[in-house]
Amino acid sequence: MYYGALEAGGTKMVLAVMNDSGKTESRVSIPTRSPEETMPAMIDFFRVWDLAALGIGCFGPLDLNPRSDTFGFITMTPKLPWRNYPIYREFSRKLGISVAIDTDVNGAALAEAELGAARGSSVSLYVTVGTGIGGGLILNGTPVHGLMHPEIGHISIVPSPDDPAPDGFCPYHRHCLEGLAAGPAIEKRWGQSARHLPADHPAWELEVYYLAQLCATALLFFSPEKIILGGGVMQQKFLFPLIRKKTLELLNGYIPVQLLGNLENCIVEPALGTESGITGAYLLARGAALGNPDRRG
Amino acid sequence: MYYGALEAGGTKMVLAVMNDSGKTESRVSIPTRSPEETMPAMIDFFRVWDLAALGIGCFGPLDLNPRSDTFGFITMTPKLPWRNYPIYREFSRKLGISVAIDTDVNGAALAEAELGAARGSSVSLYVTVGTGIGGGLILNGTPVHGLMHPEIGHISIVPSPDDPAPDGFCPYHRHCLEGLAAGPAIEKRWGQSARHLPADHPAWELEVYYLAQLCATALLFFSPEKIILGGGVMQQKFLFPLIRKKTLELLNGYIPVQLLGNLENCIVEPALGTESGITGAYLLARGAALGNPDRRG
């Protein structure tokens, strides 16, 4: 049995065909141009295989309300040719197979929950901290959707009194998490890219404070067993012990320490690295083949 | 088939026996004294019935980790005679039937999700705003636990510049939600009980701002279809439209307005009133009778 997997990004599309045991049979990467240019190439790639289903981890925002007429549309994306594009419906029609779609970050979160750093956890949160901040919450093997998909990057955060730009940079919310702690916020605040800031730069103390607020809020809100922090900014591995320590400080003993320990096993790095996106799409395809109704597979 | 339901509170215990269709066959309330005094009376009440299972919605904090040796213990409660009391184990042993236990607020959340204001929702949040602030998150009919049970009352909140006591009153976190917006915080800040403050008192604008932050964070974090606000403070019904409006302001258009509307169907009153606790315990018993493994039933 073969499964199609598509990691649909704003810059490039990664397409793969994988077998029952997850082995990759074929894989290509193509630049994301307009749907008119890019879709036929993708359809052609998948069509030669006898696929059981296709899974799509897609850039967003997406309409994922299964009762909506525009289910599986890419909605208000700044990538104008893809705005309101019915990507789910097009693949369903053209390939004539079950298709499952979710956000790219939910796909990555699913992959980490099933096969990566959160394997065996009933509740896990995956957060990517890079150009933006996004997150996926997985409960018992299923991404949480509710009214829409979560937009964890935009939760409200208490700015630090030491922050030279405490108003933040989010055009919607100013000092939300993304407005204070995403890569572009770091760069705007300090006038240079996060990647070039040394480990003793005050930028990192702020970053730790903001990401620790995210972790503390997550622990209080739904007590995930794993909080996986990925994305470009988290390539700075020295941040992990600092974020764990600051999170414990913010919780101030409220969650019993025997449950949390030093958070070494709770706030962790991704295990799948850059493979989480395509792996998540593969898992979505597997779910669709099994007829997972949540994902309209 | 009969089911036992226990709403275990710090002040009183409500015990009921209900049948398959939820009809109450017998019900008593007894004051919460020490376990030595209270437990035998409760065992006696339940023992005369041929119960399929018992459900307990219990004051906390509780150990709800099914892999823990102290599963179902009341842990660090300020009610000293009940501290580290194995309430789950005692009922299991003495009654010899399946027992399910969860926090009181998770029980109420479950009741509202199954039979009340969140009926038909896949993701719902129930929050009680009273002497403390607690919440239960229900996903597809099951309370979310993860590492422990959530402690939503202690999430970090941005104090208002108009708050005469912006440091808050939580002994653990100062200006967390409970430290800023629970009944006792209102009373300490203004020198009189929330119940006596008129609708045009500035207390309410602050309260609206703080509860709207909770709602916005919940919508961004896991996009519940319903946020049910209950408890003593929410008896002030005029707060609901104000909280909805402020939540939309805080989100600032980030979540598409066609999904949210004016939030009239999203941020709502409880439907079960004071019956949610005992109803939740009944639903826990039903789950235990079906052998729900999550609740060790």
Task: Encode pLDDT of B11-35 as tens digits.
Answer: 999 999 999 999 999 999 999 999 9
* Yes or no, beta carbons of A225 and B137 under 8 Å apart: no
What is chain A's Cα-based Rg?
A: 19
- Distance from first CA to last CA of chain B, Å, rounded? 16
Q: Give B75's contacts in chain A (Cβ within 8 Å).
A: 256
d(CA A58, CA A12): 11
pLDDT of residue B292: 63
Range A61-85 average pLDDT:
90
Look at A147 and B224 and tell me if their CB atoms are within 8 Å: yes
> How many Å apart are CA A169 and CA A174, to the nearest integer?
5
Residue among B154, B172, B222 minimizing CB distance to A222: B222
The stretch B257-270 carries a mean pLDDT of 86
pLDDT band, residue A18 (cuts 50/70/90): very high
How many CB atoms within 10 Å of residue B259?
A: 15
pLDDT bin (cut points 50, 70, 90) of residue A174 is: confident
- Determine how many CB atoms are found less than 10 A away from the CB of residue B209: 22
Q: Average the pLDDT over B234-261 and give the result.
A: 87
pTM score, two decimals? 0.88
The percentage of chain B sitting over the pLDDT mark of 70, rounded to a whole number, equals: 96
Closest approach of A37 to chain B, Cα-based (Å): 29
Fill in the amino acid letter for A52: A
> Phi then psi for A81, rounded to 5 degrees?
-60, -20
Q: What is the 3-state secondary structure (H, E, C) of B78-89?
A: CCHHHCCECHHH
Mean pLDDT of chain A: 92
**Chain A partners of B255 at a C-beta cutoff of 8 Å?**
147-148, 151
Asked whether A294 and A66 are in contact (CB, 8 A), the reply is: yes
For residue B268, which residues of chain A lie inside 8 Å, CB to CB?
none
pLDDT reported for residue B155: 92
pLDDT tens readout for residues A177-210: 999 999 999 999 999 999 999 999 999 999 999 9
| A219 vs B contacts (CB less than 8 Å) | 147
The arithmetic mean of pLDDT across residues A250-254, rounded, is 84
Between A121, A158, A225, which is nearest B158 by CB? A158
Name beta bridge partners: A7. Answer: A14, A57
Mean pLDDT to the nearest integer, A244-249:
95
Q: What is the DSSP string of B134-145?
A: EEEEEETTEE--
Query: Within 13 A of A4's CA, how many CA atoms are on the CB side?
Result: 28
Split at pLDDT 50, 70, 90, the class of A297 is: very low
Query: What stretches of A38-89 adopt beta strand conformation (E)?
Result: 51-58
Which pLDDT belongs to residue A76?
Answer: 81
Q: Nearest Cα to B178, choosing from B224, B124, B233?
A: B233
Contacts of A255 in chain B (CB under 8 A): 147-148, 151
Cα distances from A234 to residues A15, A152, B128, in angstroms, run 26, 16, 36
Q: Which two tokens stand for residue B129?
A: 């705003």
A66 phi, psi to nearest 5 deg? -60, -15
CA distance A225 to chain B (A): 5
**CA nearest A188: which of A155, A175, A200, A215?**
A175
Instruction: Return the closest-CA partner of residue A207 out of A219, A220, A221, A189.
Output: A189
Q: Tokens standing for B86?
A: 């194995």
Closest CA to B214 of B148, B127, B145, B106: B127
What is the spatial distance between Cα A131 and Cα A234, in angstroms, rounded to a whole number?
12
Q: What was the pLDDT predicted at B260? A: 76
B278, two tokens: 């005992």
Angle at B142 between CA A119 and CA B60, to 5 degrees: 95
Mean pLDDT of chain B: 92
Distances (CA, A) of B248 to A173, B96, B125, B254: 12, 51, 18, 9
Pair A109, A135: CB distance under 8 Å: yes
Structural contact between residues B109 and B270, judged by C-beta atoms closer than 8 angstroms: no
The two three-digit tokens of residue A6, written as one number = 């598509």
What pLDDT does B258 receive? 65
Q: What is the pLDDT of residue B296?
A: 44
pLDDT category of residue A258 using cuts at 50, 70 and 90: low
A195-199: long-range pairs with CB below 8 Å, 24+? A195/A232, A195/A235, A199/A236, A199/A238
Of B156, B218, B253, the CB nearest to A158: B156
CA distance B14 to chain A (A): 27
First to last CA, chain A: 16
Quote the pLDDT of residue A95.
97
Quick check: B48 and B127 in contact, CB under 8 A? Answer: no
Distance from CA of B120 to the nearest CA of A (A): 11
| Burial state string for A99-109 with b = 16 or more CB within 10 A and e = fewer than 16 | bbbbbbbbbbb
Of B146, B156, B216, the CB nearest to A222: B146
Contact (CB<8Å) B137/A250: no
Mean pLDDT in residue range A99-123: 96
> Is A224 buried (19+), middle (13-18) or exposed (0-12) by CB count in 10 A?
buried
For residue B151, which residues of chain A lie inside 8 Å, CB to CB? Answer: 220, 223, 254-255
**CB nearest to A144's CB, from B139, B148, B220:** B139
Determine the Cα–Cα distance for residues A261 and A52; give it in Å rounded to an integer: 44
Instruction: List pLDDT tens digits, range B135-185.
Output: 999 998 999 987 776 789 999 999 999 999 999 999 888 889 999 999 999
Q: What is the pLDDT of residue B151?
A: 84
Contacts of A155 in chain B (CB under 8 A): 216-217, 220-221
* Interface predicted TM-score (ipTM) over 0.90: no
**Residues from chain B contacting residue A224 (CB–CB below 8 Å):** 146-147
- B11-to-A48, B30, B56, B58, B59 alpha-carbon distances in Å: 69, 9, 15, 12, 10
pLDDT of residue A256: 67
Q: Are B75 and B83 in contact (CB under 8 A)?
A: yes
- The confidence score (pLDDT) of residue B127 equals 96
CB contact under 8 A, B151 and A224: no
Residue A296 has pLDDT above 50, yes or no: no
A258 CB contacts (<8 Å, ≥6 apart)? none
What is the rounded CA–CA span in Å between residue A269 and residue A293?
Answer: 31
Query: What average pLDDT does this structure show over B97-118?
Result: 96
The pLDDT value recorded for residue A136 is 94
Q: CA of A196, closest CA in chain B: separation in Å?
A: 31
The C-alpha of A125 sits at a distance from chain B's nearest C-alpha, in angstroms, of 10
**CA-closest candidate to residue A62, choices A8, A124, A137:** A8
Q: B156, A218: Cβ pair inside 8 Å?
A: no
Report CB contact under 8 Å: A266, B137. no
Measuring CA to CA, which residue among B98, B179, B90 is closest to residue B131?
B179
DSSP B56-73: EEE-S-B---TTSTTTT-
Q: How confident is the model at residue B79 (pLDDT cuts 50, 70, 90)?
A: confident
